[in-house]
Amino acid sequence: MDQDRALIERILAGDTAAFTEFIAQYQRLVSHIVYRMIDNAADREDLSQEVFVGIYRGLAEFRFESKVSTWVGRVAYYRCLNYLEKMKTPLFEDLSGEDQTIDDVAGPALRPDGYAEVQDVAARVREEIGGLPGQYRVIVTLYHLDEMSYAEIGEIMKLPEGTVKSYLFRARKLLKKRLEAKYRPEELWR
């Protein structure tokens, strides 16, 4: 936290190298959120850049009331929501009902035993994550890749901690179900 504060003070004093350092520190987090929320690959880079431009301009107003990472995450999340709104792509699917059933997303070709060939498990998992509702995708990513707590994720997405937890659990259950419906468990989970 103190390191973050020192870094931000250097940026505000006009030290450009300090902002390059800041970008290096947080670009992973921003890319996680942007890539998970935006399907259009062509717009991801530009949006990620815009997130940092916005952060740079708002830096003087940051009051250290939350962790810098949470603030960066929130800027990225809301920038993406804004973009999706403009593109008229709803991120907020109705998540209030019970777990969705395994849907009929076009999957890989099936073998005679009814399962699909597992070539690259990582790629398959990634593809299935992409098929989850938007909020699930973001939560799973922030929790597992960025090691954020329910509270931090809740702060970014403006959701109660309990909701974050229940979405996370439902997301993983759904993901596992969908994967196991398509691939042989013993090949998938080798």
Partner 1 sequence: MAMTHLNDEQFQEFLDGGRQSLGERLAQHLDGCPECRLKVAAYRAMYRRLTNDAGFDLSVDFAASVMRRVELAPRRNPWLWVVYPAAALIAVVTALYFFVDLSGTFGRLGQTISSITGMENAVVNSLNGLLEGLNLKPSLVLAAGGMLVAFALLERLFFTLRRGKAMFFA
Which letter does DSSP use for residue 118 in this model? -
Residues in the chain: 190
Out of 6, 39, 53, 160, name the contact with partner 1 by CB under 8 A: 53
What amino acid is encoded at 77 in this protein? Y
Out of 6, 105, 145, 151, name the contact with partner 1 by CB under 8 A: 145
By beta-carbon proximity to partner 1, the closer residue of 90 and 162 is 162
Give SS3 for 110: strand
Q: Which of 94, 98, 77, 115 is nearest to 166 (CA)?
A: 98
Q: Which of 161, 138, 157 is nearest to 149 (CA)?
A: 161
> What mask, x for binding partner 1 by CB under 8 A, covers residues 5 to 34?
-------x---x--xx--xx--xx--xx--
> What mask, x for binding partner 1 by CB under 8 A, covers residues 90 to 119?
------------------------------
By beta-carbon proximity to partner 1, the closer residue of 112 and 186 is 186
